[in-house]
Structure formats: structure tokens, C-alpha cells
């Protein structure tokens, strides 16, 4: 295990032990946003609302990665400085290392915890000690590299502005394997066996064979797209002006929130450990959610009610029994009756689901819901 992988494991273990002492622990997916002037934002409701977590002393930030649990977050700047933070990115950020270059464009992290950065001119660097020291591991014959990502099997993919995809399997050399019909590609990211590429005009291309074959399958319908990341429940993309869209399958996108901050350069997803402490009965009662009918037939409309009632729209997320987000929508009380929200289950398969609601005021609640044939 690498030093970074060991530190992440120890940090996560300590966090779990600490939380167990005071309440129930659950791992909550979070999103991070990064601006060029070094402001790090966090969202814990799948990009709907954002809050600034830290401001670094840099004006050239380009990439951010987040590991599991409340471990370290690392970002790099265009001039090669690596910054690191503990506490899930909310702790102090410290400059810990530097690459001897001035044209870094992106950063990724492999499943084993190795950090890999790339430069505009095609040099690829790696760090096995959480960003302290860096070693050049490859030099690609490209002068317009824009992004880099790693797949679950530690295969590395590099993207150029003109849509050329370079691939490196573990212990092998880089090779050009695919090409997209893009002339302004901006980001490449991988999730399971699927790879997505985003271009500056909002088009999204998909590959299911490791970057060889590509299909342009969707568009965000908004120019100025700059950032893309894989999330626990799908994908997120953003524009330079801070507008954020999410998608479950990478094909159908919904604009859900904004950072209200121009100069966005990157998105990253991670996990945060959340402690549930039953010490405030009044607060817990206000978050109690009721769903009916429950159980419900497949395709039915479900009505949701909080004890305090709904007076405005709310953000709904639906998770299956394995914790995967399978649906997300903004719903409002119109047509549902006083103090109620309604949502159509569509083609959800029979099974157990968890519905999570968040109101504009920040109140959240969840309920177990069963779909039957």
C-alpha cells in the first residue's frame, strides 16, 4: 500500500472510531468545486447548494481530487504547486510539493492512491506520497493536452483539445487509441467501465471500450462547459460561471445548482463521514418524512409529507438498496395537496428504496419506500 493509501485508510479508520463513540455513522457523498483563484466549494446535496470551505493563496489552480472518507484532498496549480488538506478538504490547506513545470492542466488519482498530473505539452507526472514528490513517467507527442483520468483498474487516459485519447494500461506505455469529433474538448472522466468526454460547447461523448470507440450521445445545451466528474450516483458537469448539471447515465442532464462564482475550473467527488446523534428531538421531528402509498405499485405517484409541511419546492434523491442514486428531481407542491409533494416513480423496478428530501431552507429528511409489482 502506498503512503497516501495508508494515510487515507488510517484517517478513515480514526474518523469511524470517533464517530462510533458519539452516534451512528454513515458515509455521505459530497461534491467539490474549485475555482482558478483557489476557492474550494462543497455540496452535500448533489450540487444543489454550495458553500465555500477554503481559500488558498493561489491564482492558478487547475485540478482537484478527493479520496474516500474524511481523508486528504489534493489540488495542483498551473505552475506545478501541489496543495493538500485533511479533514475532507475543510481543514487547512498546505503547499506540500511542486512539479518543475509551468503548464500543468489536470490531476487524477488512481484506485491505489497514486496521484497523476499532466502538462499541456504532454508530460505525465506521478506522486506516491500524497503530492510531496513527483516523478515524470511519460512524455506524449502532444502539445494540447487538457485532461487526465484513471479507471477503476488503474488504466490512465489522457485527452487532447482536439479529441485524441491516449491510454496507458498498468505497466505498459501510452498509446493513442481513440479520436472524437471535437475541436474544443475540455475534460475526460471514467466511472466503472464507462468514460465520458465533455467539450466546451456542452456536447458529451461516451465510450464503453476504454476510450477506443466514441459516440456523441448528449449535450448540456450550454456553452462554456469546463468541468466534469464521476459521482457516486452518476455524473456532474459545470460551466466556468458555476452552473452545475447532474446526470444518472451521462445522457440526460438536469441543471440543479450554481456556485454563484465565476472562474470554476474543476469538480471532484468524494465521501464524508456523517454522525447521526439523537440529541435534539425537536429537530428530528421536523425532519420526519412520510411517503404514501407505501408499499406502492410500480409506476405509481408517491406523495411525500413532512410533519412541518411543504410550502415550496424541494430536492428529491432516490437511492436503491445498495446505496446507488437511481433518480433525482426537483419537485413542488402544485397539484399534490396542501403541505405535500408528489413524484412519479416511472419505471423503477420492484424493491426497497430510500427517498431523501432537502428543502430550500436546508432541512433534510428521508424515508424507506417499497415498490411492488
What mean pLDDT is reported for the chain?
A: 82
- What integer is the mean pLDDT of 340-350? 81
Strand pairing class (364-372; 296-297)? parallel
pLDDT at residue number 57: 82
Asked whether the predicted pLDDT for residue 221 surpasses 80, the reply is no
φ, ψ (nearest 5 deg) of residue 44: -110, 15
For the stretch 119-149, pLDDT in tens is 999 999 999 999 999 999 999 999 899 999 9
Q: 69: phi > 0 → left, psi -120 to 50 → alpha, else beta; which?
A: left
11 vs 216, residue with greater confidence: 216
Q: Are 212 and 200 in contact (CB under 8 A)?
A: no
Count H helices and E strands in the chain, helices first: 2, 32
User: Three cell numbers at 17?
Assistant: 472510531
Predicted pLDDT of residue 22: 38
Could you give the CA distance from residue 183 to residue 158 in angstroms, rounded to a whole number? 15
Please work out, in degrees rounded to the nearest 5, the angle formed at the alpha carbon of residue 85 by the alpha carbons of 82 and 90: 135
Q: Is the pLDDT of residue 162 over 80?
A: yes
Q: Rounded to an integer, what distance in angstroms lies between the CA atom of residue 177 and that of residue 221?
A: 28
Which among 30, 41, 114 has a CA at the least distance from the CA of 69? Answer: 30
Over residues 173-197, the mean pLDDT reads: 95
Span 238-254, pLDDT tens digits: 999 999 998 888 988 88
pLDDT at 339: 60
What digits encode the pLDDT tens for the residues 257-305? 888 778 999 999 887 655 443 333 333 334 577 888 888 888 888 887 7
What are the structural domains, with CATH classification, of the chain? Answer: 3-274 (2.120.10.30), 279-372 (2.60.40.1930)
Question: Using an 8 Å Cβ cutoff, are 100 and 40 in contact?
Answer: no
CB contact at 8 A, 119 and 106: no
CA distance 228 to 234: 11
- Asked if 98 and 108 count as a contact pair (C-beta separation under 8 A), the reply is no
Rounded to whole angstroms, the Cα distance separating 61 from 323 reads 33
Is the bond preceding residue 293 a cis peptide, omega within 30 degrees? yes
| Closest by Cα among 218, 227, 231 to 259 | 227
Amino acid at each position: 500500500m502506498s503512503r497516501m493509501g495508508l494515510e487515507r485508510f488510517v484517517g478513515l479508520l480514526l474518523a469511524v472510531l470517533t464517530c462510533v463513540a458519539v452516534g451512528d455513522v454513515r458515509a455521505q457523498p459530497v461534491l467539490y468545486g474549485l475555482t482558478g483563484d483557489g476557492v474550494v466549494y462543497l455540496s452535500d446535496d448533489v450540487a444543489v447548494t454550495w458553500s465555500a470551505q477554503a481559500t488558498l493563496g493561489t491564482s492558478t489552480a487547475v485540478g482537484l481530487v478527493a479520496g474516500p472518507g474524511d481523508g486528504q484532498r489534493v489540488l495542483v496549480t498551473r505552475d506545478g504547486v501541489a496543495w493538500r488538506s485533511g479533514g475532507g478538504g475543510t481543514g487547512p490547506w498546505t503547499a506540500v510539493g511542486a512539479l518543475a513545470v509551468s503548464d500543468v492542466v489536470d490531476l487524477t488519482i488512481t484506485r491505489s492512491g497514486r496521484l497523476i498530473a499532466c502538462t499541456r505539452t504532454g508530460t505525465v507526472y506521478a506522486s506516491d506520497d500524497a503530492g510531496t514528490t513527483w516523478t515524470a513517467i511519460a512524455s506524449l507527442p502532444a502539445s494540447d493536452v487538457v485532461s487526465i483520468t484513471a479507471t477503476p483498474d488503474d488504466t490512465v487516459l489522457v485527452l487532447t483539445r482536439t479529441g485524441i485519447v491516449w491510454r496507458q494500461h498498468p505497466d505498459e506505455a501510452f498509446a493513442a487509441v481513440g479520436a472524437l469529433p471535437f475541436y474544443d474538448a475540455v475534460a475526460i472522466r471514467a466511472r466503472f467501465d464507462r468514460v465520458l468526454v465533455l467539450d466546451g460547447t456542452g456536447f458529451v461523448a461516451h465510450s464503453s471500450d476504454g476510450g477506443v470507440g466514441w459516440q456523441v450521445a448528449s449535450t448540456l445545451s450550454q456553452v462554456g462547459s469546463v468541468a466534469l466528474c464521476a459521482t457516486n450516483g452518476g455524473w456532474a458537469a459545470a460551466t466556468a460561471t458555476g452552473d452545475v448539471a447532474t446526470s444518472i447515465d451521462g445522457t440526460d442532464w438536469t441543471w440543479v445548482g450554481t456556485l454563484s462564482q465565476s472562474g470554476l475550473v474543476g469538480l471532484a467527488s468524494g465521501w464524508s463521514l456523517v454522525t447521526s446523534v439523537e440529541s435534539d428531538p425537536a429537530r428530528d421531528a421536523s425532519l420526519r418524512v412520510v411517503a404514501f402509498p407505501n408499499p406502492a405499485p410500480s409506476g405509481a405517484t408517491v406523495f411525500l409529507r413532512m410533519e412541518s409541511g411543504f410550502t415550496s419546492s424541494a430536492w428529491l434523491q432516490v437511492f436503491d438498496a445498495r446505496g446507488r442514486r437511481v433518480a433525482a428531481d426537483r419537485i413542488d407542491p402544485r397539484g399534490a395537496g396542501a403541505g405535500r409533494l408528489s413524484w412519479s416513480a416511472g419505471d423503477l423496478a420492484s424493491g426497497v428504496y430510500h427517498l431523501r428530501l432537502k428543502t430550500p431552507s436546508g432541512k433534510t429528511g428521508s424515508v424507506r419506500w417499497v415498490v411492488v409489482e
